[in-house]
Chain A
Amino acid sequence: MPTLTYRDALNHALREEMERDPDVFLMGEEVGVYQGAYKVSRGLLQQFGERRVMDTPIAELGFAGIGVGAAMVGLRPVIEFMTWNFALLAIDEVVNSAAKLRYMSNGQLSVPIVFRGPGGAALQLGAQHSQALESWYAHVPGLKVVAPATPYDAKGLLKSAIRDNNPVVFLEGEMLYNLKGEVPEGEYTIPLGQAEVKRVGKDVTVICHSKTVATAEKAAQQLAADHGVEAEVVDLRTLRPLDTEAILASVRKTNRCVIIEEGWPFCGIGAQVCDEIQHGAFDHLDAPVERVTGADVPMPYNRSLERAAKPSVDAVIRAVRRAAYLD
């Protein structure tokens, strides 16, 4: 099976969907001539031309609004935000228009749009450029929120997101674009709303998404090798709607859970997952659910502080040990 980077997996997904459906088009800053700020759209302008790949000025609210309008009249736009930090300037279009127009029009209007771009921290980008805001979008009824962790998931989920008739918030990661993984050559999609067990275990459920999946897998390896604990790693993949059944099935098996997320703790994705667990698996819990999150501070610029502010393998191991009463 061929190996692709996460970036190229997304590129192939865009290419295939644009080939398949002439209504799909891409719009955003630097997506055309520059080949994409992160090269996700490399070669697309050459292949599809200016009507399908549109460079925009630095005006997120403007081009997000154009995208919503285009979707309302039947096109299938993919709107790229250079990062989700900048998308804050466009959040009104995402939340007040894209998410609500179908509801407010009693189904007369549809907004089959995908908003995509990298979210979360990279390396020393500073407080305003390192935010993981998935819980803000997951909060909103009317949106779907997806956060793939691997090249395979990225391609399959982006194709499904483009084909979905709902507005989808698609969260990638600057630190994920170079990640390599096996991606099959043929046509495939991954359904939205489906989590995946990335590693089977019996002693503790570790729930994660996006960049924290790699953290969870490293921690699981160390836990098995050095601590005698077999962790089950559950990659959420879609944050809204949550695959509650997959989460509960795992926790009922292991009786204890650690949730990892990049974002801040208060009202983070983990808080919602925790609520689902305490409600749906109460009698199966042998210990309180543990959370490992980004530190509750604006992301520091200093390299050591930034490292300390991100969820680490050690923090996951400590949380697992607490949940397993090993200390």
Chain B
Amino acid sequence: MEALSPTMEEGRVVEWLKHEGDAVVAGDVLAEVETDKAVMELQARGDGVLRKVLAPSGSTVEVGKLVAVIAGPDEDIAALIGGAAVPPRPATPPPAGPTASPPPTTQPMAPVAAGARHLKASPLARRLAGERGIELGSVAGSGPGGRVIRRDIDTLAAAPAPGVAVRGGGAAASAASFEDVPLTQIRKTIARRLAESLGPVPHFFLTTDVDMDRAWDAREALNGLGEEPRVSFNDLIVKVVATALTRHRECNAWWQGDAIRYFNDVHLGMAVAVDQGLITPVIRHADRKTLRQIATESRNLVERARARKLKPEEYTGATFSISNLGMFGIDEFTAIINPPESGIIACGAITQQPVVREGMLVVGRRMRLTMSCDHRVIDGATGARFLGTVRRMLENPLAMVW
């Protein structure tokens, strides 16, 4: 099982496209594998015959474990599939697991095959993992270079190896008044990523009420031109936020621990609800794209997000994100920042409300924006100025071309 995305730790084999006995060449798609975010292709890295499939469809396998063997048609592969010997490429020998004997000094440092992931862990973390029966390879490391450190072991709930207990095993629950649903890859990733956000990242929140009358009219006017694609409010918000970020570079930044990375380009992530979860596809260079391009691209990204067909480069690398729950009738909400970004804007629904205009009570369209800021990067005034620009542009969309 290869690491098909930067954060992938295990994959679920969806379907084998090649079968035992098939001849394959390097580059052939062997199987479809569901990763933490999307369904990806597992390719053959060499030529030969697919002699043995070890991970049937539906099974979940850790990155680095053996899933199949490609060899010459008459080559002896008994040693590889026998399970006793340490197999050579493409698999790695298993990392220190719960069955290894406790004393940390005797745990073997398994040799790492080329192309597999080298496990970085502090000596203390290794020892604690061994003592607590935690498989080191299954722990996400928060240290430099993905090093597994003590706090990663401490915060991990004592759980058996992922490939075993997470899937299936719900039989006993049927008689009880609740049901334990095993975590899918996407839920696990959402849980881990956002738990890593709200804790360490010092959030504060800025809310503003936006007069959307002119934006409403502008959108109607654009869509009235009768051309495809139709522009949604979300597209407008993407364009406005991206443009505003070019004027407020201080908010277009990543927290890097010992520095703040200010980006010259704007890549905007849009939170999209997908089956069982949430993913944030990225519109790259959103500031330079026209509304039409943004509308087309966002439609395409959302469709592919829902079909779990996004590539890693399409959902990583955002410099800022937005999230919109207006279509669900939510007036306002506070979003959690996607680290290492330093801000996110949450949009509520556009509603007709009684408003005061020139001293008179009239009906106006309002939308609440709530910006979550990482206080290590963005201070109150800085965030307020940026949000002010966003509001001004939405209240007068022509300001974007100024």
- A interface residues with partner B (beta carbon < 8 Å): 255, 282-287, 325, 327
- The CA-CA distance from A255 to B257 in the complex, in Å, is 21
A285, B124: Cβ atoms closer than 8 Å: yes
B257, A286: Cβ atoms closer than 8 Å: no
B143, A283: Cβ atoms closer than 8 Å: no
A286, B104: Cβ atoms closer than 8 Å: no
B258, A283: Cβ atoms closer than 8 Å: no
Residue of A nearest to B153 (CB): A286
Tell me whether chain A's interface is mostly helix, strand or loop, or mixed: loop
- The CA-CA distance from A6 to B122 in the complex, in Å, is 42
- The CA-CA distance from A287 to B123 in the complex, in Å, is 8
Residue of B nearest to A322 (CB): B258
- B interface residues with partner A (beta carbon < 8 Å): 104-105, 122-127, 142-143, 149-151, 257-258
Kindly list chain A residues whose C-beta atoms are within 8 Å of the C-beta of B142.
325
Q: A325-B142, A325-B143, A327-B257 are in contact. Are A285 and B123 (CB under 8 A)?
A: yes
- The CA-CA distance from A287 to B150 in the complex, in Å, is 9
- The CA-CA distance from A287 to B122 in the complex, in Å, is 6
A283, B104: Cβ atoms closer than 8 Å: yes
Kindly list chain B residues whose C-beta atoms are within 8 Å of the C-beta of A287.
122, 143, 149
Nearest CB of A to B171, in Å: 40
The 7 residue pairs across chains A and B that have the minimum distance between CB atoms:
A327-B257, A286-B124, A286-B150, A283-B127, A286-B122, A283-B123, A282-B123
Q: List 5 A-B contacts (CB under 8 A).
A: A283-B105, A283-B127, A286-B124, A286-B149, A325-B149
Q: Name, among B104, B105, B122, B125, the residue most crowded by chain A CB atoms within 10 Å (CB to CB).
A: B122
A255, B124: Cβ atoms closer than 8 Å: yes
Kindly list chain A residues whose C-beta atoms are within 8 Å of the C-beta of B126.
283
Kindly list chain A residues whose C-beta atoms are within 8 Å of the C-beta of B104.
283
Nearest CB of A to B256, in Å: 9
Partner of A325, one of B123, B127, B151: B151
Q: Name, among B105, B124, B125, B258, the residue most crowded by chain A CB atoms within 10 Å (CB to CB).
A: B124
- The CA-CA distance from A283 to B122 in the complex, in Å, is 8
Kindly list chain A residues whose C-beta atoms are within 8 Å of the C-beta of B105.
283
Kindly list chain B residues whose C-beta atoms are within 8 Å of the C-beta of A282.
123
Other than the given A282-B123, A287-B122, A287-B143, 16 more pairs (CB < 8 A) read: A255-B150, A283-B104, A283-B123, A283-B124, A283-B126, A283-B127, A284-B123, A284-B124, A284-B127, A285-B123, A286-B123, A286-B124, A286-B150, A325-B142, A325-B143, A325-B149
- The CA-CA distance from A284 to B125 in the complex, in Å, is 8
Kindly list chain B residues whose C-beta atoms are within 8 Å of the C-beta of A255.
124, 150
- The CA-CA distance from A282 to B124 in the complex, in Å, is 8
Kindly list chain A residues whose C-beta atoms are within 8 Å of the C-beta of B125.
286
Residue of B nearest to A285 (CB): B123
Kindly list chain A residues whose C-beta atoms are within 8 Å of the C-beta of B123.
282-286
Kindly list chain A residues whose C-beta atoms are within 8 Å of the C-beta of B258.
327
Kindly list chain A residues whose C-beta atoms are within 8 Å of the C-beta of B149.
286-287, 325
- The CA-CA distance from A282 to B122 in the complex, in Å, is 9
Nearest CB of A to B257, in Å: 4
- The CA-CA distance from A118 to B149 in the complex, in Å, is 42
- The CA-CA distance from A284 to B127 in the complex, in Å, is 8
Kindly list chain A residues whose C-beta atoms are within 8 Å of the C-beta of B143.
287, 325
Kindly list chain B residues whose C-beta atoms are within 8 Å of the C-beta of A325.
142-143, 149, 151
Kindly list chain A residues whose C-beta atoms are within 8 Å of the C-beta of B127.
283-284
- The CA-CA distance from A325 to B150 in the complex, in Å, is 10
Kindly list chain B residues whose C-beta atoms are within 8 Å of the C-beta of A285.
122-124
Nearest CB of B to A326, in Å: 9
Residue of A nearest to B257 (CB): A327
Nearest CB of A to B248, in Å: 25
- The CA-CA distance from A255 to B128 in the complex, in Å, is 12
Residue of A nearest to B105 (CB): A283
Nearest CB of B to A2, in Å: 45
